[in-house]
Chain A
Amino acid sequence: MSEALFDKDFLRTLEYLELIARRLVFGREHAQRMSSRRGASIEFRDFREYSPGDDPRTVDWSVYARLGELVVKLYRQEQELDLWVLLDRSASMSFGEPDKFQYAQRLAAALAYIGMCNMDSASVLPMAQTLERGFVRMRGRGAIFRLLDDIAAIRPGGTTDLEASVRGLISRTRRPGLVVLISDFYGLQGAQRAINQLRFFKHQIYAIQVVSPWELDPPIRGEHRLVDVESQDQSDLVITDGLLRRYRQAFDDFSVQLRRYCLRYSIGCSLAPTNTPFDEFLTAVLQRGGLVA
Chain B
Amino acid sequence: MILLAPVALWLSLVGGAVIALYLLKIKRQRQTVPSLEFWRSLTGPQHTRSLMQRLKRLLSLLLWLLILLLLILSIGNPVFTFGKIKPRSIIVVLDNSASMQTIEDDTTRLERAVADVRRMTSGRPVRDEWLLIESGRDIRVTQGWTHRAADMIDGATTILPHQGETDLAEAVALADQLLEGKRRPTIVVVSDGSAGELERIAASNERVILRPIGVRRDNVGITQIRVRPNRQRSTQHVFVRVSNSSDAARMLDLVLEVDGTTVGVEPIEIEAEGTWESTLVMERPEGGVLRAYLDVDDALTLDNQAFAIMPPIRSARVLLVSDPLEAFFFEQALGAMSPLVDVDGSATIDPAELQSVDWHAAAPDLVILNMAAPPPSLDASAVVTLNGLPAWTGARSIGELAEPRLNIALTSHPLMRFLELAGAQVARAHRVELTRPADVLVASDEGDPLVFHVRDPRQDTMCFAFDVLETDLPFRNSFPIMLRNAVSHLVEEGAAWTPSQVRVGEVIMSRRRAPEGVQTVTAYTLFDEEEIAHDITTQDGAFQFEGTSRPGPIRFEIGDDLAYAAVNVASERETVITPMLLPEDAPRLALSSTLASAPPWFVLGVLALVLVLFEWNSFHMRWTE
A interface residues (Cβ-Cβ under 8 A, vs B): 92-93, 95-96, 100, 184, 186-187, 212, 215, 220, 222-231, 233-238, 240, 242-243, 246-247, 250-251, 254
Contacts and interface: CB of A to CB of B under 8 A. Distances in A.
Contacts of B33: 95, 226-229
Given A186-B37, A225-B48, A250-B41, A220 B31 contact: yes
Contacts of B329: none
B478 interface: no
B32 A251 contact: no
A243 B43 CA distance: 8
Contact of A92 (B34, B39, B620, B625): B34
Contact of A235 (B34, B40, B619): B40
Interface of B: 25, 28-43, 46-49, 53, 619-620, 622, 625
Given A226-B36, A231-B36, A251-B38, A237 B620 contact: no
A95 B37 CA distance: 15
A70 B46 CA distance: 70
A157 to B, nearest CB: 13
A120 B174 CA distance: 122
Given A184-B34, A227-B30, A228-B33, 16 more contacts: A95-B32, A95-B33, A184-B35, A186-B37, A223-B29, A225-B29, A226-B31, A226-B32, A226-B36, A226-B39, A227-B32, A231-B36, A235-B47, A236-B46, A243-B622, A246-B42
A235 B39 contact: yes
Contact of B25 (A186, A223, A229): A223
A231 to B, nearest CB: 7
B42 A225 contact: no
Nearest to A244: B42
A104 to B, nearest CB: 13
20 contacts: A92-B34, A95-B33, A224-B28, A225-B28, A225-B29, A225-B30, A225-B48, A226-B39, A227-B30, A229-B34, A230-B35, A234-B36, A234-B48, A235-B47, A236-B53, A238-B619, A240-B622, A242-B620, A250-B38, A250-B42
B63 to A, nearest CB: 15
A187 B43 CA distance: 17
A97 to B, nearest CB: 11
A233 B36 contact: yes
Contacts of A220: 31
Contacts of A93: 34
Contacts of A236: 28, 46, 48-49, 53, 625
Nearest to B56: A238
Given A238-B619, A238-B622, A238-B625, A227 B36 contact: yes
A237 B39 contact: yes
A137 to B, nearest CB: 31
A95 B31 CA distance: 11
Nearest to A228: B36
Most buried by A among B32, B41, B47, B48: B32
B42 A243 contact: yes
A224 B32 CA distance: 10
Nearest to B41: A250
A252 to B, nearest CB: 12
Contacts of B53: 236
A227 B42 CA distance: 15
A224 B35 contact: no
Nearest to A238: B625
Contacts of A254: 38
Contacts of B31: 220, 224-227
A246 B619 CA distance: 16
Contacts of B42: 243, 246-247, 250
B28 A92 contact: no
B39 to A, nearest CB: 6
Contacts of B38: 186, 250-251, 254
A73 B310 CA distance: 155
A280 B49 CA distance: 46
A251 B41 CA distance: 11
A234 B31 CA distance: 9
